[in-house]
Amino acid sequence: MGGYRQLFDASVADAGEFWAQAADAVTWTRAPQRILDDSNPPFYRWFPDAELNTCANALDRHIAERGDQAALIYDSPVTGSQRVYTYRELLDETARFAGALRNLGVGKGDRVVLYMPMIPEAVVAMLACARLGAVHSVVFGGFAAHELATRIDDAEPIVVVSASCGVEPTRVVQYKPMLDHALELASHKPDACVIVQRDKRACDLVDGRDIDWSAAMADAVPADPVPVAATDPLYVLYTSGTTGKPKGIVRDNGGHAVALLWSMRHIYDIDPGDVFWAASDVGWVVGHSYIVYGPLLAGSTTVLYEGKPIGTPDPGAFWRVVSEHGVKALFTAPTAIRAIRKEDPQALHADRYDLSSLKYLFQAGERLDPDTYAWASAKLGVPVVDHWWQTETGWAIAANPMGVEHLPLKAGSPTVPMPGYDVQILRVDGSRCEPNEEGAICISLPLPPGTLPTLWGDDARYEASYLCEHPGYYLTGDGGYLDEDGYLFVMGRIDDVINVAGHRLSTGSIEAVLAGHPAVAECAVIGVADEIKGQVPRGFVVLKSGASAEGLAEELVAAVREEIGAVACFRLVDVVPALPKTRSGKILRKTMRGIAHGKDEPVPSTIEDPAVLDTLRPILQG
């Protein structure tokens, strides 16, 4: 594997030397002399004696060479508007808003909660917090008031930054009433709220608490970047916990900057001046890492897209953006590609655009099924690169390092572990699995820079959630295997492994078979209770446009029997109009399982369309 293998082996053999070299790409106010503090395991800290400012690394240091280069392209088909910010313009906006936050009492270490749609002010606010050494916590704009309130209570922000509304293809979502309700529910009360008034719908401001963004900016003096310790937190991002209480993932400043800079060049093959587009949301980890920080740290141009893969206005929406803005690498979830394929199976809309700038399609967020991989590869004619990571890690655990070496692609695999991630597959007793044997995907400690050092205000929960199951390892919560070539295959969450008459089977394996049928656009498989066998798999499929359901169930059952075997006991499959998903595109398998088992399963606040679950409920319970 040439270049990749040398890099990976070096990162494992001498992690300190490897990351010391990577750290040279960062501009430090005090360069690190010590690379890893391992004096208090399992709490490891990278670059413990170093100092920097992340905003200065993302903006200020580029001004001399590329001040007039595009830093941020805002493309909003839902409002019919676009705007390009140069590095100089984005720095000016950011420094002024940092001054506005400083006027409201925000300083180093203080928290600021952001509850915003996909607008440039969201990026500015994140960078402005980093400029002051404050800690931002972005809450996805679609979260309901209760979820926002729990995050406000945990983060205890001095200021909340929000907007009057978000804009969807068919409706306007009023943010301000949800924020007001959240603040009524929350025990913690921020000192102030800064509100962006959008043209689509303005909102009423609360006297003495709410401040119009424009007014806050009008009398703000631009703020200089505040140096912080590399180990100081840059942000807190909440992810769902099994207890129902969100887990606050902490990201530090130093390790984050080093890791993201390394990943932009080595994984995504992005150089200064290249255009990179992560078609995600700033409320998710992909938005943090690869809409905002990664591309700007690298001196490239990032795209902020306020739209959908279809319906804004058609299945060619993504291809228009690629063509108009000269996107080199597109990063999105397989759900988006499947949605495009369902509406435009022959990719006729892609043929309308010049896609010659596009060199890579990166996929993450959920398992890339081989059928979607094959379709995208054939229609786009570029490498379709699956890679796998988590909110907790902040960047890819496994990928194909396109900036180092184009490794052979294997459908269904995110390729190989990245430098710093010593991935091991463990059995329940902690012993290591053989090649091609499924087990728990774990990572030897210490984790590389850029990953979570702990949970916000809860070291004990960090240990209990990730470190106690297999001492010396980080438990990813996913199951899978490494093949004989060292390629990683992620088969789904550990609780998506079902036990059929004593045989452990991954629902991901069955889904891969279903997704390979030419009539199937999307699918999900869950384990349901069975009186005799304990559990049996049950499938749900969404058809491609124009496909027929006649005889499909029998064909799918036969395909699973042929490819996996009778041991799967796969006999139940339903054709459904849609699958319930979160707004980030993940299928709500856990919720489906709960309903199928007769539990009074609450509807997650992250659900994209509750009506889909209502339609599915009688089928699940039948």
Query: Helices marked H in 326-406 — which ranges?
Result: 334-343, 370-380
Supply angle C-alpha 530, 536, 542, rounded to 5: 125
- At residue 539, the pLDDT reads 96
Look up residue 397 and give its amino acid: I
The answer on pLDDT for 498 being more than 80 is no
- At residue 495, the pLDDT reads 66
156-170, 171-185, 452-466, 518-532: least confidently modelled range: 518-532
Angle, helices 120-132 vs 87-103, to 10°: value is 60
Q: Give the Cα separation of 35 and 14 in Å (integer).
A: 11
Q: Token pair of 264, please?
A: 């932009």
- At residue 244, the pLDDT reads 52
Query: Helices marked H in 267-416 — which ranges?
Result: 285-287, 294-297, 317-325, 334-343, 370-380
- At residue 95, the pLDDT reads 98
Question: What is the rounded average pLDDT of the residues 125-149?
Answer: 92
Q: What is the pTM of this model?
A: 0.86
- At residue 491, the pLDDT reads 82
DSSP state of 62: G
Look up residue 205 and give its amino acid: L
For 107-124, what is each residue's pLDDT tens digit? 999 999 999 999 999 999
- At residue 306, the pLDDT reads 98
Q: Token pair of 309, please?
A: 């893969």
First to last CA, the chain: 51
Instruction: Kindly report the number of other CB atoms within 10 A of residue 572's CB atom.
Output: 16
- At residue 500, the pLDDT reads 77
Matching residue, tokens 């900036």: 403
Backbone dihedral angles phi then psi of residue 536, each to the nearest 5 degrees: -135, 150
Matching residue, tokens 């796998």: 388
For 426-441, what is each residue's pLDDT tens digit? 999 999 999 999 999 9
Higher pLDDT, 574 or 509: 574
Q: How many helices (H) and strands (E) does the chain have?
A: 20, 31
- At residue 1, the pLDDT reads 47
Q: Token pair of 136, please?
A: 């931002």
For 155-186, what is each residue's pLDDT tens digit? 999 999 999 999 999 999 999 999 999 999 99
- At residue 501, the pLDDT reads 59
CA 129, 93, 320, 362 dihedral sign is: negative
Look up residue 381 and give its amino acid: G
Q: Give the Cα separation of 268 and 290 in Å (integer).
A: 10
Question: What is the rounded average pLDDT of the residues 486-513?
Answer: 78
Considering the chain, what is the average pLDDT of its residues?
93
Q: What's the full length of the chain, in residues?
A: 622
Closest residue by Cα to residue 299 from 325, 275, 323? 275
Proportion of the chain above pLDDT 90, given as a percent: 80
Instruction: Kindly report the number of other CB atoms within 10 A of residue 460's CB atom.
Output: 9
Residue 572, sorted as left (phi over 0), alpha (psi -120 to 50) or beta, turns out to be: beta
Question: What is the rounded average pLDDT of the residues 244-256?
Answer: 90
- At residue 365, the pLDDT reads 82
How far apart, in Å, are the Cα atoms of 374 and each of 103, 228, 402, 509? Answer: 53, 46, 19, 17
Residue 494: band (very low, low, confident or very high) from pLDDT cuts 50, 70, 90: confident
> For the chain, which domains are there?
2-307+387-464+472-480 (3.40.50.12780), 501-621 (3.30.300.30)
Residue 412: band (very low, low, confident or very high) from pLDDT cuts 50, 70, 90: confident
How far apart, in Å, are the Cα atoms of 572 and each of 76, 129, 203, 591, 614? Answer: 42, 51, 50, 18, 20
